[in-house]
Structure 1
Amino acid sequence: MLNIFGSWINRYFSDEEAVLLLVFLISAFAILITMGSTLAPMFASVIIAFLLQGLVAKLRSVGMPHTAAVTITFIVLVGFIVIALLFVLPLIWDQSRALFAELPGMFAEAQKLLLLLPEQYPNLIDQQQVQEIIELARSRIGAFGQELLTFSLANVPVLIAALVYLILVPILVFFFLKDSGQILSWLSSFLPHKRPVMRKIWAEMNQQIANYVRGKVIEIFIVGAVTYVCFALLGVNYALLLGIAVGFSVVVPYIGAAVVTIPVAVIGFFQWGWSSEFYYLMAAYAVIQALDGNVLVPLLFSEAVNLHPIAIILAVLVFGGLWGFWGVFFAIPLATLFKAVVSAWPLAHKEMESEGELEN
């Protein structure tokens, strides 16, 4: 047994690069688990800088100096933040407040519909089951209201954290964009000069993560904006909230579209009932989902992420459970990183062994 374990160690950890890569992965995972909330502004800044790096590269490709390209990109970021604070967030707040005010009426209407089910389908459901469902829903709504009250009483630290993010994150993004070359050179100075496994992993991940993350952000904005405009033209209540929900639903493949269908259908039903407007709404929503999956995704994601659907769902569950929204958002890139490490590590050693055999 010891001989088998020793041979396995010698095969995969016989050089400094393998050991260093293992230490780096373990250290990064430990930092995220133990200090994720403390370093959240830093992580958010790195993510935003990574997203904006494409704009900097495009500006530099037309002959613009690096500092000017970074400055223009930073102005675009600040402008987006100002628009969100002055226009988008007030609309979200107004629609959210109106929705919460309407929830008791929606619950009462749903209760009336549920009480009719035993009369229409006596063989499938009885009055007692309906009462249990109503009591369960009432208790859940009460718990949700209590959570909202607790949040409102403790929103002062949240506001302080938001102010820190609004001030600190843009400053960090500017310096990450401005000094990205120096930062990468400094980090690479700690790595071995010969690092074939790391180079192979970086080459695969740099292309796939850049394509996925930037494409996913663009997809969120396009799907959310199109949904909002379409729902607003149809006269749907809370069109902005539904547009945001549909936009963010693309983060979770296979699951997001199915889950967000529920609020779209519920709000449409309580607004119009079983009318033609309701069917127009659901047809428009189906067309948006079809165009997203069959037109927008192939255009945005030129480099397909070659992962099995089971692997994608498992990654969403695992990383989402660890890091919440950001874990869900980066579940596919993290799964791709894991796949790249697993596939590149033994292949690199096999190539080294085959080269040694050819030399002999």
Structure 2
Amino acid sequence: MDDTAVNDIARFFRRLQWALVALAVLWLVWLMGPVLTPFVVAALLGWLGDPLVDRLQRAGRSRNTAVVLVFALMALLLALALLILVPTLQRQIATLVHSLPNYRDWFVDTAIPWLEQRTRLDLSTWLNPEYLIEQLRVHWERAGGVATTALGYLSRSGFAVFAMVANVVLIPVLTFFFLRDWDVFVERVASLVPRDHLGTASRLAKESSDMLGGFLRGQFTVMLILGAMYGFGLWAIGIDLGLLIGIVAGLLTFVPYLGPASGVIFGVIAALVQHGDWKHVAGVLAVFGIGQVIESYWLTPKLVGDRIGLHPVAVIFAVLAGGQLFGFLGMLLALPVAAVANVLLRYAHARYTQSRLYAGQSPAPGVGAERVSGGGIIVPADSDDEGEGKA
């Protein structure tokens, strides 16, 4: 067996070894998801706050002082959000509970007959509350068994509730330490990278961090602005549940097209139930139409742009796949992993377009020899471009 075959076998076993290590890491992440969740949340907060800490350090403050200032700012913003949102949401939910009979009557007396008239389907039997209650009574024994099982699970999950509270308490403590020692963690990880690949690894890591950081900060700002715009706009035209609908639509803006679509549906239903005229429906459509114009032509291009480089379908798939595989932890890690994967795929594509496999070794019959330029463009070999001679 020659040296080439031995090297190929050794390379295969090294790759197999790394694949097994990756699978073992994923298995451990899946097993330790509940334990790792507060660490991941704190790491994301520390990563988002580290640029501001570095900026304060460059302004002349010590690392500890900068960390305390940034941590206090983050805690203040969280406290203000809770002080503003919690009472507002409490009032809006109380209004919703008080209005539920009106929504039920509108659904039974107006919505169902309207749908039946246009679809010619007998929906009143299936959607009638009395029929649903009767079906529940008929199957009460089975429902009672399910309820008993659920209550038994809840009674056995007291430790899980305690663990969740402990995680919430841990997050600010861990965030402070991640803010303080973020640069130390980065240096220790960089020290493990082989020296021959340190430059490439550093460049790819910086691209991933810049891309994801810009996307998250911009998207979060867009969500806040749109939630406030939708909420106050619906409140201004007289929708009692306008603030709640606006907040929900703003949060769902993270999923492309879901936020405005859900806001329009809920807003139109609220306008029809509360006022019953098309003037308020037109007002709801105007609020979301203006919001979408501002978001499409100013907010998203200005604050988000194309920083993550992923199609909206890929973003949705990443979040759903992460949640399906690793639960809430997977949803937290979905976008960071997707951003890193996107940067690595770009790097792999650039390497591939400059490889011999892509360029080929022999010209096609009747065509002059061609080769690949530094930018991945195929040019004739006899081109007199000076830059190509250096590529």
Q: TM-score range by the shorter chain?
A: 0.7 to 0.9
Equivalent residue, structure 1, for 2:125: 131
* 1:220 maps to which of 217, 220, 223: 223
What is the letter of the counterpart of residue 265 of structure 1?
Answer: V
Relative to 1, partners in 2 of residues 1:284 and 1:347: Cα closer, same or farther, differing over 3 Å?
Answer: closer
Q: What's the TM-score, normalizing by structure 2?
A: 0.71
Equivalent residue, structure 1, for 2:233: 230
Relative to 1, partners in 2 of residues 1:219 and 1:119: Cα closer, same or farther, differing over 3 Å?
Answer: closer
* CA–CA separation in structure 1 for the residues paired with 2:201 and 2:131: 52
Residues 172-214 of structure 1, C-alpha deviations (whole Å, 9 max, x = no match):
1111111111122222333322225533431321111111112
What is the letter of the counterpart of residue 173 of structure 2?
Answer: I
What is the letter of the counterpart of residue 126 of structure 2?
Answer: E
* CA–CA separation in structure 1 for the residues paired with 2:290 and 2:108: 31
**Aligned pairs (5 A) from 1:167-186:** 167-186=169-188
2:250 touches 2:259 (CA, 8 Å); kept in 1? no
* CA–CA separation in structure 2 for the residues paired with 1:159 and 1:97: 26
* CA–CA separation in structure 2 for the residues paired with 1:58 and 1:191: 27
Relative to 1, partners in 2 of residues 1:88 and 1:312: Cα closer, same or farther, differing over 3 Å?
Answer: closer
* 1:96 maps to which of 93, 96, 100: 93
Equivalent residue, structure 1, for 2:45: 48
**Aligned pairs (5 A) from 1:5-154:** 10=8, 25-117=22-114, 120-121=117-118, 124-126=119-121, 128-134=122-128, 138=132
* 2:257 maps to which of 246, 254, 257: 254
2:208 touches 2:343 (CA, 8 Å); kept in 1? yes
TM-superposed CA distance for 1:88, in Å, is 2.1
CA RMSD in angstroms comes to 4.0
* 1:283 maps to which of 282, 286, 295: 286
Equivalent residue, structure 1, for 2:375: none
Moved more, 33-42 or 225-234: 225-234
Q: What's the TM-score, normalizing by structure 1?
A: 0.77
User: Relative contact order, CA 8 A, sep 6+: which one is greater?
Assistant: 1
Q: Percent identity?
A: 23
Residues 46-95 of structure 1, C-alpha deviations (whole Å, 9 max, x = no match):
11112222332343343333222211111112212323444422332332
Residues 139-173 of structure 1, C-alpha deviations (whole Å, 9 max, x = no match):
7xx89xx89x97xx879778745643443211111
TM-superposed CA distance for 1:220, in Å, is 1.8
TM-superposed CA distance for 1:299, in Å, is 0.7
Equivalent residue, structure 2, for 1:319: 322
* CA–CA separation in structure 2 for the residues paired with 1:311 and 1:82: 34
Q: Does 1:209 align with 2:203?
A: no
**Aligned pairs (5 A) from 1:331-350:** 331-345=334-348
The unaligned stretches of length 5 or more in structure 1 are: 1-5, 355-360
Partner SS state of residue 304, structure 1: coil
TM-superposed CA distance for 1:325, in Å, is 6.2
Aligned residues: 338
Relative to 1, partners in 2 of residues 1:136 and 1:252: Cα closer, same or farther, differing over 3 Å?
Answer: farther
1:74 touches 1:174 (CA, 8 Å); kept in 2? yes
What is the letter of the counterpart of residue 261 of structure 1?
Answer: V
